[in-house]
Structure 1
């Protein structure tokens, strides 16, 4: 069963929007490995960050434990 994450949706959106190329939102939700890859590739040259932003806003982004980060 998928539950809601304790991570704040608004903080995740803002981190992705302003620091997505550095993977800050991935580090925030506990996805350290993906955060490092995003940091090295500058957010997949911006494409990966844009996709993440869309997924976060849609409410389908998950934290490191598989819980959805949703607007509440």
Structure 2
């Protein structure tokens, strides 16, 4: 018998931006999106010295779309 799993919940762009705004240098928004490796990198380097935190300001919508597409396909 085939085992079915419930689809993973989609991530929200607004929540990601809130996490980015308050805890971005700690990488909490990356952990939220399931990007554990990148979250650890941000945690250890203060958001890669703040540069990647600023980069995320402009790329969060695309990152969330990518994560949600992967979740819809059952990848993450």
Gaps of 5+ in 1: 68-72
Larger radius of gyration: 2
Deviation track 1:10-30 (CA, whole Å, cap 9, x = no partner) reads 110111111110000000000
Q: Which residue is 2:62 aligned to?
A: 60
- Once the two structures are TM-superposed, the CA of residue 33 in structure 1 deviates from its matched residue by 0.6
Distance 1:44 1:9, change over 3 A: same
Q: Normalising to structure 2: TM-score of the pair?
A: 0.70
Q: Normalising to structure 1: TM-score of the pair?
A: 0.74
Q: How does 1:17-32 map to 2 (within 5 A)?
A: 17-32=21-36
Distance 1:13 1:47, change over 3 A: same
